Structure 1
Amino acid sequence: MLRPSPDRAADDDPQRHRCGGCDLEHVTAAGQRRLKTRVVREQLERLGGLAAPPVDVCREVGPATGYRNRARFHVDDDGRLGFFLPGSHEVVPATTCRALAPGVQEVVEAIGTTSAAEVTVRAHGQHRAVVLAPGPGGLELPEGPFDLLLEQPDGSVVAMRGDGVLAEEVAGLRYRFDATSFFQNNTAGAEALVHHVLEAVGSPKTGGVDGALVWDLYAGVGLLSLPLARAGAEVVAVEGHEPAAAWASRNATDAGLDLEVAAEAVHRFLRAARRGEGPMDPPDVVVLDPPRTGAGQDVVDDLVALAPATIVYVACDPAALARDAKALVAGGYRLTAARPLDLFPLTHHVETVVTFAR
């Protein structure tokens, strides 16, 4: 390096460490957000084929450290939990990680060493759960103030201590879910997603939330469905992971909200709706939060055929977003707003809330 960028973090900056997970730890916080803004814009331009897409500057949503409430750890030869060095299978002890939430760090310290092959720790509010993946030898179960679950070869888990049910409060709503169900790894980030999705659905251009028929695709345990229902929308939550769908229904009931839940794969649900099967009316708005691979061509084709007036797309991968955006625009939609959110500081990952209008 001949001349450091003004955005380069100093070598003695507290955020600098050796783990390979935080691949932007050498960049200042402001510099990281500028980079993420540029990545979202360039992907929409190059892969999406959009000229001058309306991309906001990436927004800070919470603390840059101590935010990650879930982590999966490797185990070194001494039984300590940690992460791989970049491009290596050498494990760095997790005590050096500043991205982990205090609750996760407390569990790591309580476990100390283990004979497991991998360990997943989740800490939501006051609830703690540990999922152990057994190694080739025997497995000693660690003691500690946390629920303990054992991962099976088929990916399911068996509760060894406690029931593994976690709880988190976001935007004044309480969510419960089991240790196998997805929930945002950053609680402040989850709050930001709820805020920006509600803002996108409820803007004057869409006619507002109250009274709108909204389909929430890839709904999980109801993170977005419940606030939409509370705001007055008629919400259908679609989730293919049956345990998560069941929790979405329970969470709505606990909150006194009316929510219709379809425990069905999104592509099957949309294909049936496209064929006109069932009594369901076409939606005014579709909200979708697909996995990292994106929604894909089949789901986009079905959305275009169903022709909702507004689509609010929560993207966790800019390249997948750009591919889906290209297909939506080709199908008659216009990208009206893109808001990158820095849910995972120190890493290249960025969430983007994108609005499409028919």
Structure 2
Amino acid sequence: MIKNEEYIVEVIDINANGGGVAKYEGMAVFIPGAVPGDVAKVKIIKVAKSYAVGKLLELVEASEHRAEPPCVYAAKCGGCVAQHIKYEFQLKYKQKQVKDCLERIGKIREVEVLPTIAMENPIHYRNKAQYPIREVDGKIQIGFYAAKSHQVVDIEDCVIGNQKNGAIVDAIRKFLKDNKISIYNEATHKGLARHLVIRNSINFDEAMVCLVINGKKLPHAQDLVERLRAIPGITGILLNHNTAKGNVILAEQTTTLDGRDYIMDKIGELTFKISLLSFFQVNPVQTKVLYDIALGVAALTGSETVLDAYCGIGTISLFLAKEAKRVVGVEAIPQAVANANENAQINGIANVEFVLGNAEDVVLGEKFDVVVVDPPRKGCEEDFLKTIVANAPAKMVYISCDPATLARDVKFMYENGYVVNKVQPVDMFPYTSHVETCVLLSRLTT
């Protein structure tokens, strides 16, 4: 293939980023915005040794799996890369993505990956939004980054975000403009307003609004409070002071301008206190589905001691505690451990202990019957997995948000005496390329 030339290709597959894959004379062609079944005219914008990247110019024939995006910003915003794909097909390609990774990376052959569990109403599900704030040609832009860039797409409303957020974004935009608040510039590290972070509760009418600033004080802060107070349901207004260079959104120091510095929400029957820096799944509806699956495959009888590694604010630990003898949750972030202990008290659960530190250190001191892990996208450290193997729990329940690192870690456990019993994908992130997966691994006995 030749760069800048145009070709007619048939899209036959989909990649992990939600883009279409075609083949032309044996070479793979990756085409963002294409869907399997499309026949498309593409312009080649990159040619590598074994693949090319094409820009979709025209649909010669549209796939039956293609849909009209529900969001007006879909073509520009980099957040929801699968809006042009019918929801039923999104579920199928996420199932295939998990299976492909387990076979290709994990070397687990003939593994059954169950159909992805759909969300009944896959819009307005996110309970957290992080908006970069920038200024272009004198206009304040609050929105999300365009694909593969730090250019902000100015957004009034997001189809997967909470419906309250549009009014909050509008109030922030007008406050910044009316009070001539300087806007942060990544290149010069000058300007005050950097990000807007909103956390919502879906079970209670509560929202936390945080303006991230490159400084210690916000001019006209009381005006901001009064504007936001006019929006029903806002229970906390915060400033986060991030003066560091780089892409990290939130810093450690936070000032409360008005109300509380947390919100309350529920997963199933359990209630959780969620602070600004706490990790809490962004889709509580599907989180309940996911945790019920984890609890089901763990098949606890009430006699087990369970380890919940990467426990965060204790969400999974407290679910497990209902059917276990004892649960130990381990977390490396002090604030999360404090929140976890508060959440245990709020829910009246006594058979759980939360430990600050590294999970491998805790494992060395106690024998566990079941280990549950829900690591970040990078997966588990190999030293941790080695410690788990040495501890020899009968079961490991692995919850993953990245099929590739899941497959890598499952391969390690498989090579060290564990077999895959169940693989269940759950659609926690409709209209994106991401998928959550729950895997049950059992130790082979000799």
Instruction: Please say whether Structure 1 and Structure 2 have the same fold, judged by a TM-score greater than 0.5.
Output: yes
**Which of residues 353, 370, 377 is equivalent to 1:292?**
377
Give 1:76 shift: 3.3
**Which of residues 300, 319, 323 is equivalent to 1:231?**
323
Which residue is equivalent to 2:408?
323
**Which of residues 283, 288, 296 is equivalent to 1:186?**
283
Alignment CA distance shift 1:179-1:137 (3 Å): closer
Contact 1:119 1:130 (8 Å CA) reproduced = yes
**Aligned equivalents of 1:232, 1:268: Cα separation in 2:** 22
Alignment CA distance shift 1:265-1:105 (3 Å): farther
Give 1:210 shift: 1.8
* Residues 1-49 of structure 1 deviation map (CA, whole Å, 9 limit, x = unaligned): 2322211113xx4246231110111111011111111110000000101
Which residue is equivalent to 1:205?
none
* Residues 102-139 of structure 1 deviation map (CA, whole Å, 9 limit, x = unaligned): 23334223323434111211112322222322248984
Aligned-partner residue type, residue 362 of structure 2? F
**Aligned equivalents of 1:228, 1:61: Cα separation in 2:** 23
- Structure 2 counterpart SS, 1:291: coil
**Aligned equivalents of 1:233, 1:312: Cα separation in 2:** 17
Contact 2:126 2:162 (8 Å CA) reproduced = yes
Which residue is equivalent to 2:263?
166
* 108-117 vs 165-174, greater mean Cα deviation: 108-117
Alignment CA distance shift 1:301-1:137 (3 Å): closer
Contact 1:69 1:104 (8 Å CA) reproduced = no
Which residue is equivalent to 2:70?
14
- Percent identity over the alignment is 31
Give 1:179 shift: 0.7
Find out whether 1:26 has 2:84 as its counterpart: yes
Which residue is equivalent to 2:242?
152
- Structure 2 counterpart SS, 1:353: strand
Find out whether 1:49 has 2:111 as its counterpart: no
**Aligned equivalents of 2:301, 2:163: Cα separation in 1:** 36
Find out whether 1:95 has 2:162 as its counterpart: no
**Aligned equivalents of 1:299, 1:232: Cα separation in 2:** 23
**Aligned equivalents of 2:166, 2:422: Cα separation in 1:** 37
Find out whether 1:59 has 2:120 as its counterpart: no
Higher helix share: 1
Find out whether 1:129 has 2:211 as its counterpart: no
- Structure 1 counterpart SS, 2:432: coil
Provide the TM-score with structure 1 as the length reference: 0.90
Give 1:177 shift: 2.3
Contact 1:62 1:188 (8 Å CA) reproduced = no
Give 1:96 shift: 4.1
Segments ≥4 residues shifted beyond 6 Å: none
Aligned-partner residue type, residue 291 of structure 2? V
Which residue is equivalent to 1:342?
427
Aligned-partner residue type, residue 122 of structure 1? R
Larger Rg: 1 or 2? 2
Alignment CA distance shift 1:118-1:3 (3 Å): same
Provide the TM-score with structure 2 as the length reference: 0.73
Find out whether 1:72 has 2:130 as its counterpart: yes
**Which of residues 337, 351, 354 is equivalent to 1:261?**
354
Find out whether 1:40 has 2:94 as its counterpart: no
**Aligned equivalents of 1:307, 1:105: Cα separation in 2:** 50
Cα RMSD (Å) of the superposition? 1.9
Contact 2:306 2:324 (8 Å CA) reproduced = no
- Structure 2 counterpart SS, 1:64: coil
Which residue is equivalent to 2:438?
353
Gaps of 5+ in 1: 203-207
**Which of residues 343, 350, 357 is equivalent to 1:251?**
343
Higher strand share: 2
Higher relative contact order (CA 8 A, sep 6+): 1
* 225-234 vs 49-58, greater mean Cα deviation: 225-234
Gaps of 5+ in 2: 1-39, 41-59, 182-192, 245-250
Give 1:170 shift: 0.8
**Aligned equivalents of 2:398, 2:285: Cα separation in 1:** 19
**Aligned equivalents of 2:198, 2:329: Cα separation in 1:** 28
Give 1:87 shift: 3.3
Which residue is equivalent to 2:173?
112
Give 1:286 shift: 0.5
Which residue is equivalent to 2:20?
none
**Aligned equivalents of 1:286, 1:160: Cα separation in 2:** 38
Question: Across the two proteins, how many residue pairs are aligned to each other?
Answer: 343
